[in-house]
């Protein structure tokens, strides 16, 4: 059997549905809840709908698959891998698609295994229900290339990284720093703006600064200049924190920004980066930042 899922919840169902539409019919799955009186009905219904064979045991499932994709949960990823990977045979590929930390994926890669068994750290980089099997994934580890080669023909959007297991999941985690942190900055700023009655004007002002710029352009604008002007911006953020607190707004994000700026201000970045440092691209600025961290 070409692909067997461990865990046949929403994500596995939608991926299987998309693959079936592309002509892949050799699919199986094991889900410990398949026989549950409350949860099993939906699992069995979905499996029948997309032609996925449900196995009665975990062992029978992983023995049958060339590619074994784990989609259980981040909390159980390591435990499931420890129970499966040592039992696999040469040429089988274990793919962990859970949103687990890169350290967990790296630990899975170190689980003792038979010669020829491969592991792929797969980071799912979008919403599965809307994209199905075409949801973008970053792949790392020694099984990444084999997985990608086998499923490219079925329309999967797989990017193989030149990275060890954990590298793919690291991208997803570090992207979350921005994508989950940015809304918190908005909440903090917008709440204060509402209390002053200027929310729409604030958004318009942000638009004039940000709209039309690429992420690369923003990174180049923000990185070196923030380092160089950290002391002045720290003073400005002190007033921001005081204003937010006077309004009764939780200033946690602004306080964190202030603390980061204070750390940056301990260095003479004008001297370190040079006279044209404010024009330095973000890659060079980050290299200088890491080299000069205390």
Range in 24-28, 218-222, 231-235, 272-276 with the lowest mean pLDDT: 272-276
Q: Is 247 helix (H, G, I), strand (E, B) or coil?
A: coil
DSSP class of residue 135? S
CA distance 90 to 67: 11
Mean residue pLDDT of the chain comes to 96
**So which residues are the catalytic ones?**
172
DSSP class of residue 104? H
Q: How many CB atoms lie within 10 A of CB 263?
A: 12
Across 152-167, average pLDDT: 97
Closest alpha carbon to 116 in 80, 143, 150, 78: 143
Tens digit of each residue's pLDDT (9 = 90 or more) over 55-77:
999 999 999 999 999 999 999 99
Q: Which residues contact 154 (CB under 8 A, 6 or more apart)?
A: 19, 22, 23, 24, 133
**Per-residue pLDDT, 91:** 96
**Per-residue pLDDT, 293:** 82
DSSP class of residue 125? -
Tens digit of each residue's pLDDT (9 = 90 or more) over 9-30:
999 999 999 999 999 999 999 9
**Per-residue pLDDT, 294:** 62
Say if residues 97 and 126 touch (Cβ distance below 8 Å). no
Residue 275 has pLDDT above 90, yes or no: no
**Per-residue pLDDT, 1:** 75
Say if residues 51 and 57 touch (Cβ distance below 8 Å). no
User: Quick one: what percent of the chain has pLDDT higher than 70?
Assistant: 100
CATH class of 3-170: alpha beta
Domain residue ranges of the chain, discontinuous segments joined by +: 3-170, 212-292
Helix 252-264 × helix 167-196 angle, to 10°: 120
**What global pTM score does this model have?**
0.86
Across 142-154, average pLDDT: 97
Q: What is the phi/psi pair of residue 255, to 5°?
A: -65, -40
112: exposed, middle or buried (Cβ count in 10 Å: 0-12, 13-18, 19+)? exposed
Across 227-253, average pLDDT: 97
Tens digit of each residue's pLDDT (9 = 90 or more) over 74-117:
999 999 999 999 999 999 999 999 999 999 999 999 999 999 99
């Amino acid at each position: 059997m070409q692909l067997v899922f461990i865990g046949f919840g929403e994500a596995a169902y939608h991926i299987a549905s998309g693959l079936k539409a592309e002509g892949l019919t050799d699919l199986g799955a094991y889900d410990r809840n398949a026989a549950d009186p409350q949860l099993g009905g939906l699992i069995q219904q979905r499996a029948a709908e997309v032609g996925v064979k449900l196995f009665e045991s975990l062992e029978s499932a992983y023995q049958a698959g060339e590619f074994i994709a784990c989609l259980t949960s981040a909390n159980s990823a390591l435990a499931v891998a420890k129970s499966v990977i040592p039992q696999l045979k040469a040429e089988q590929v274990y793919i962990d698609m859970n949103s687990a930390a890169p350290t967990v994926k790296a630990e899975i890669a170190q689980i003792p295994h038979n010669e020829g068994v491969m592991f792929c750290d797969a980071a799912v980089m979008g919403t599965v229900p809307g994209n199905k099997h075409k949801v973008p994934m970053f792949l790392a580890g020694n099984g990444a290339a084999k997985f990608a080669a086998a499923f490219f023909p079925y329309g999967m959007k797989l990017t193989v990284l030149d990275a060890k297991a954990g590298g793919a999941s690291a991208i997803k985690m570090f992207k979350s720093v921005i994508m989950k942190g940015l809304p918190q900055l908005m909440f903090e700023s917008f709440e204060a703006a509402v209390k002053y009655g200027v929310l729409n004007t604030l958004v318009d002002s942000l638009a004039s600064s940000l709209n039309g710029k690429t992420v690369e352009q923003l990174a180049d604008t923000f990185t070196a200049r923030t380092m160089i002007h950290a002391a002045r911006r720290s003073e400005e953020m002190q007033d921001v924190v005081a204003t937010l607190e006077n309004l009764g707004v939780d200033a946690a994000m602004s306080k964190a920004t202030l603390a980061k700026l204070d750390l940056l201000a301990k260095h003479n970045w004008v001297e370190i980066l040079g006279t044209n440092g404010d024009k330095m691209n973000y890659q060079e600025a980050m290299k200088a930042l890491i080299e000069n961290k205390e």
